[in-house]
Structure 1
Amino acid sequence: MTVIVLCALTSWVAQRAAAVFHDGVRPFLLDFVQGRSTRRATAAVSFGLSAGFVFGLGAPLALSTGVLNPWLVFLPTDVLGLVSPKRWLAAVLGGAWGAVVVFGVGGANSWVHELPVDFVTAMQQMATPILYLFTLFPVLAVTQQFGRLRGGLCGVLELALVVLSLKLWPKVFPGSIAMAAGVLILVGLALHRDWGRPTGPEEDPEEDPEEDPEEDPMAGLFRAGAVRLRSHLPLLMLLGAGVCLLCQEHVLGGGEASGFLIAKGDYGGAAQVDFYRAFGFIPLIATTALASGAYGIAGFTLVYPVGYLLPSPWLALAAGALVFGVEVMLLSWAGRALGGLPSVRDASGHLRNAITQSLQLAILFGSLAAANAMGGGPGILVVGGLYLFNEVTGRPVTRMAAAPAAVIAGGILLNVLYWLHLFTPAAR
């Protein structure tokens, strides 16, 4: 019921253009809100950007972990809300999608486990590559922004911390401390560069008057966005309460790695992973929210780790509402602060790129391991072949989602071959 109600709420919120989950859709909402774009056109953009993630990433991860994720839950409600001409219809469609997710994932899990080629169990092989390679994203970001030397030193430090964690704290996810150190190094280097930037006499005072008129339109746009967001504050706080509650029930994981950690019962590790991940998205979410007047369904994503760690649903409802309320009220200040910290903004972009790069490799390795587990050499041939075919045909399925989608398609094909007596699973 929590999932169904929350999906109805997120679809209703999207219908009002008050919030959407996909960061790439949010900038298009400004034209929709100001009447320069139609509802149908905006919904088409949302569908085009989201479909690959829903079926290629969200569904496979939910099947393999048993934990829901935002791509499966919230991206479809973006589309359903934006395409609905009436608010009540958006709520009905969103709730219906929530029911499909809840009963569909459970039913699919039960059905697949009875198949001769159990590709869902095989997909659990994705956990180790995702968890450990994801640990390296701060190293990649430091290298991209501050050079090979600092990146190499950060990598050596992270490796040492992983080894120490395995030795001293075997029950703790070993990447947690390493990621914390890497993110702190990146942020520290970025702040040092910004605070050490020359000011005062070296600046040309005659440039400021010329630049101000160019900045005024953007400042006005951000101000209008902040006013619109505050007008939806009660609705957004309700949304934050619902997302936090779902995380507290450990039904929803905010990322690829945290879903596997929640499935293992490591809620502290999941909270740390999603907390560090948030640093890469806060500037993006803040600027797109201020520019469009539409917030993120998960806000700054800080509500995820808060929810994982809370002991009570009632505390989760209160904390989620409070977190969203504080975030919305501080958006204008965050926008101004980020304007004076260009290296921190760049660090956020490098973090997002590094997260994508590390996860693309991890998901590909994990998908090939799953292919080997479910079908040996033929499994690798089918899954790897589908992935390569997607590459050479212009990536109709986004790269990150292509490999998990290939595992599911390959698993279905191997089952068909088994029923035709053309393939025998290794376990038989």
Structure 2
Amino acid sequence: METLFIVLIGAMAAILANQNIAVFNDGLRPVVGEHIEGRLKRRELGVTAFAMSFGLVIGFGIPFTLSASIILIHSILLGTDIIGLITPKNKWGTPLAAAVGGLYGWALLAGLESFVKLFDYLPVNFLEPLGEVGTPVVVTFMAFPALAVAMQFSIKKGILTFVLAALVRQLTVFVNESGFLSIGENVIQLNQEGMALIVGMIFLFFYAMKEKGDEGSSVDLAAMFSEKVKSIKNNVIYFVIIGALIAGATNLLIMAGDPISLNLIAEGKITDAGIAAAARAIGFIPLVASTAIATGVYSPVGFTLIFVVGLFSPNVWIAVIVGGIISFLEVMLLSSIARFLDKYPGVRNSGENIRSAMTKLLEVALLIGGANASNMIAPGFGFFFIAGFYLLNEVAGRPIVRMAVGPVGAIAVGIIANILVALGLMSIPQ
């Protein structure tokens, strides 16, 4: 069943990309829109998709997938973006994209098991330390709403949001340790990072909804891009199918929508993972809706609420049904969301700031995580390597995106450590 879900997701996502219906990479949607309008050739589109997504697959998606033995959605859907857009959009290109996409999904799942077994034969098994790459992400993620507030409104409001979120976190820790909340004899444990995240999101949307546009500056997005919204709605059946499949795969705990929930799933904290996924989904609604309405190109995961459905559903079949329904409602409500975003320009504008804040936070958290993992693999040398790797990458003009430096560096240290042990230049870390 697990293999079937992943193969079907890979095939369907590749078809959506091939037909210019949906791509996972947010930055690709405007590019695909240019191709649809006839301003960009198919060959150029394929090359652009490869350049924008391949590094993220290798440097971001795969390392997280390996670290937790759970497929991070980026590793499969960024790959199917490339597959779908490189293959021609014709009567043989679309079936080819579906076949290659399905095969890619299968290889990702099958290769994952082989990789895990391979690590047992290495002199330095660095799979467990590699899991430390994502540890700081879960803890630091609660700070992104404060950063988004500071970027969009003011540093003072950002600091206020950060302080109050931190205070709520520590109050939650106190409540948990004191056992104040209980049902019968069972003490309820609240997730401190999740509570802080919710407080931060409340402040972010409070400030955003207070921000008004200039007189006469309001633009009816739904009316202005009605044909593009209509084209997305015409393809709703595809989004229902892939939404149902992804919700089912998430319920089987073989897939996660982001590094935070992935690490929580790996730790067995399914409810906390669902809360983190919900907070992320709420934050991404303005971004996904705005890019979809403006370009006519949607996301195969919609507003990412299907991951929340998968994590909170009692079984896989309910996840499949509810995931399909949620995907249908998201598409049908696209015009209403456009009008809401138009009514509150601050909320609409917050989409890009939320994305930027998440990116900056992940860059820092993954660098710290990569450094910690590397030092566990090769004490002393690990910190030295990551610091040098990061600085040289900056000087070289960032050929590797900052977000990927920590994970890629940790994998590199693991490989180097095994070579050094094989050459007798390093002892096996205890």
Instruction: Say if 1:30 and 1:293, in contact at 8 Å, map to a contact too.
Output: yes
**1:405 corresponds to:** 408
Q: Distance in 1 between matches of 2:55 and 2:37?
A: 28
| Matches of 1:358 and 1:406, distance apart in 2 | 18
User: Do residues 72 (structure 1) and 69 (structure 2) align?
Assistant: no
Pick from 123, 129, 140 the counterpart of residue 116 of structure 1: 123
Asked if 2 retains the 8 angstrom alpha-carbon contact of 1:113 and 1:121, the reply is no
1:148-178 CA-to-partner distances (Å, cap 9, x unmatched) read 3332232222222222322333644320011
- 2:271 is aligned to 268
Match of 2:247 in 1: 244
Residue 135 of structure 1 aligns to a residue whose secondary structure is helix
How many angstroms apart in 2 are the aligned matches of 1:346 and 1:36?
Answer: 27
Following the alignment from structure 1 to structure 2, what is the Cα–Cα distance between the partners of residues 193 and 378? 49
Q: Which amino acid in structure 1 is aligned with residue 142 of structure 2?
A: T
User: Which residues in structure 2 correspond to 1:127-166 (within 5 Å)?
Assistant: 127-166=134-173
Q: CA deviation at 1:12?
A: 1.3
Within-5 A mapping of 1:23-422: 23-85=26-88, 86-169=93-176, 171-194=189-212, 203=215, 222-422=225-425
Aligned partner of residue 296 in structure 1, secondary structure:
coil
Point out 4+ residue stretches in structure 1 off by more than 6 angstroms. Answer: none
Q: Deviations over 1:187-232 (max 9, x none)?
A: 11221333xx78xxxx5xxxx5xx89xx69x766611111111111
The code of the aligned residue for 2:285 comes to I
Q: Is the contact made by 1:280 and 1:349 (CA closer than 8 Å) also made in structure 2?
A: no
- Using the TM superposition, name which of 83-92 and 218-227 deviates more: 218-227
Alpha-carbon separation, structure 1, partners of 2:403 and 2:206? 30
SS of the aligned residue for 1:31 comes to helix
Q: What's the CA shift for 1:387?
A: 2.4
Residues in 2 aligned to 1:148 and 1:38: alpha-carbon distance in whole angstroms: 43
Give CA deviations for 1:391-416 in whole Å, capped at 9, x if unaligned: 11111111101221111112111211
* Code of the aligned partner of 2:66: L
TM-score (norm 1): 0.91
1:283 is matched by which residue type in structure 2? P
Shift of 1:44: 1.2
Q: Do the aligned residues in 2 keep the contact of 1:8 with 1:92 (CA within 8 Å)?
A: yes
Give the conservation status (yes or no) of the 8 Å contact 1:25–1:46: yes
Query: What secondary structure, in the 3-state scheme, does the structure 1 residue paired with 2:256 have?
Result: coil
Specify the code of the residue in structure 2 equivalent to 1:176. Answer: G
Counterpart of 2:246 in structure 1: which amino acid?
V
2:186 corresponding residue in structure 1: none
Q: Which runs of 5+ in 2 are unaligned?
A: 178-188
Q: Is the 8 A contact 1:162 1:177 kept in 2?
A: yes
Q: Is the 8 A contact 1:117 1:411 kept in 2?
A: yes
Structure 1 residue 9, shift from structure 2 partner: 1.1
Give, in angstroms, the shift of residue 278 of structure 1: 2.2
Deviates further, 144-153 or 354-363: 144-153
Root-mean-square deviation (CA), in Å? 1.9
TM-score between both structures, scaled by the size of structure 2 = 0.91
Verify the 8 A CA contact 1:379 1:414 in the aligned structure 2: no
Counterpart of 2:33 in structure 1: which amino acid? L
2:16 counterpart residue number: 13
| 1:340 CA displacement | 2.2
Cα deviation 1:260-284 (Å, max 9, x = unaligned): 0011121111111121122332122
Alpha-carbon distance between aligned partners in 1 of 2:306 and 2:57, rounded to the nearest angstrom: 22
CA contact (8 A) 2:140 2:361 kept: yes
Q: Deviations over 1:263-317 (max 9, x none)?
A: 1121111111121122332122112212222210110111111111001222111
Q: State whether residues 221 and 290 of structure 1, in contact with CA within 8 Å, keep that contact through their aligned partners in structure 2.
A: no
Amino acid at match of 1:36: R
Work out whether residues 226 and 331 of structure 1, in 8 Å CA contact, stay in contact via their aligned partners in 2. yes
Deviation (angstroms), 1:128: 2.9
Partners of 2:14 and 2:130 lie apart in 1 by: 30
Given residue 150 of structure 2, which amino acid in structure 1 is its aligned partner? T
Aligned-partner residue type, residue 21 of structure 2: A
Q: Single out whichever of 2-11 and 274-283 deviates more from structure 2.
A: 274-283
Give the Cα separation in 1 of the matches to 2:55 and 2:17. Answer: 20
Number of aligned residue pairs? 412
